Amino acid sequence: MKLPRDLPSPLVDQLCERFKALAEPARIQLLATLRLGEQSVTDLVERTGLGQANVSRHLQQLMSAGFIRRRKEGTFAYYSLADEDVLKLCDIMCGRIDADVREQRQGLRTVR
């Protein structure tokens, strides 16, 4: 689905909630780590250096936004990306930031 020209208010609200879920460095770090595949909270704590309570809180927010899913196995919970679309969005933004930085560097070189 493409962004419609005339956005109905409920869609705007949902869109804003999803972007808010991405507006936290820890959540971006968790998504990047989940790019490696399904992981437990313990795995995510070890790989990110974030505290367990912090990881659990951010995972809940990412799940609420529909970016990740949880699978229970006994007393363990495993998390994975719901799909690759959120990473595509992050990749687009990383590419845009990289292009902006290169453009700024080139602008600085030509001014000197």
Summarised one tens digit per residue, pLDDT across range 53-112 is 999 999 999 999 999 999 999 999 999 999 988 888 888 888 889 988 988 888 876 554
Domains of the chain: 9-82 (1.10.10.10)
Phi (first) and psi of residue 109, to 5 degrees: -70, -35
- Give the chain's length: 112
Confidence of residue 9 (pLDDT cuts 50, 70, 90): confident
- DSSP letters of 46-70? HHH---HHHHHHHHHHHHHTTSEEE
